[in-house]
Amino acid sequence: MTPTKKILLINGPNLHLLGKREPDIYGKTTLFDIQKRLADTLISHHISLQCLQSNHEGVLVDKIAELGLLADDGGFDGVIINPGAFTHTSVAIRDALMAANKPFVEVHLSNIHAREPFRHHSYFSDKALGVICGLGDIGYDMALVFLCKHLYGISL
């Protein structure tokens, strides 16, 4: 059976380096490990996970439109996004998410409010269903549990 329910997982700049880049801040788990764990969680519920990572803002904007608003099949149902450094700078990604008109949860591995002052502001938080930060890679799992309950009424 082909899943008709779809969640989009978006990761911004440098998140492809998880497990290697500053593991004392971001942990030792790789992005691939996180993606696989989430996809495996969803498989028995017939929900697909589409994963997207880019260091380039325009690529993320284009893909959000392509997979959402412009998709022939209605696109994804909701989004989990770790915008990385784009959290503090990207009105364009925010606007793309608003145009897609799908609920999203914002995730950060580190506590952005306990870091440098420029990291305290997010262009996404005021539009997100929820924000999870500072809990390491388990934050992705928590976002998935919440989003599936919100979208489909199911408990993972």
Q: What is the CATH number of the domain that holds 76?
A: 3.40.50.9100
pLDDT at site 3: 65
Strands, sheet with 78-82, edge to edge from the N-terminal-most edge strand:
47-53, 5-11, 78-82, 104-108, 130-133
CB half-sphere exposure, 13, CA atoms < 13 A = 11
The answer to whether residue 26 is catalytic is yes
Active-site residue identified among 45, 46, 88, 108:
108
Active-site residue identified among 26, 45, 123, 152:
26
The answer to whether residue 45 is catalytic is no
What phi and psi, each to the nearest 5 degrees, are found at residue 107?
-125, 140
Domain count, the chain: 1
Residue 133 buriedness (CB in 10 A; 0-12 / 13-18 / 19+): buried
Contact 115, 73 (CB under 8 A): no
**Hey, what amino acid is at 58?**
G
CB half-sphere exposure, 33, CA atoms < 13 A = 10
The pair of structure tokens assigned to 62 is 């284009």
Range of the domain at 85: 5-152
pLDDT at site 141: 98
- What's the pTM value of the predicted model, to 2 decimals? 0.93
pLDDT tens digit at each of 156 positions of the chain: 566 899 999 999 999 999 998 888 888 999 999 999 999 999 999 999 999 999 999 999 999 999 987 877 879 999 999 999 999 999 999 999 999 999 999 999 988 887 777 777 899 999 999 999 999 999 999 999 999 999 999 999
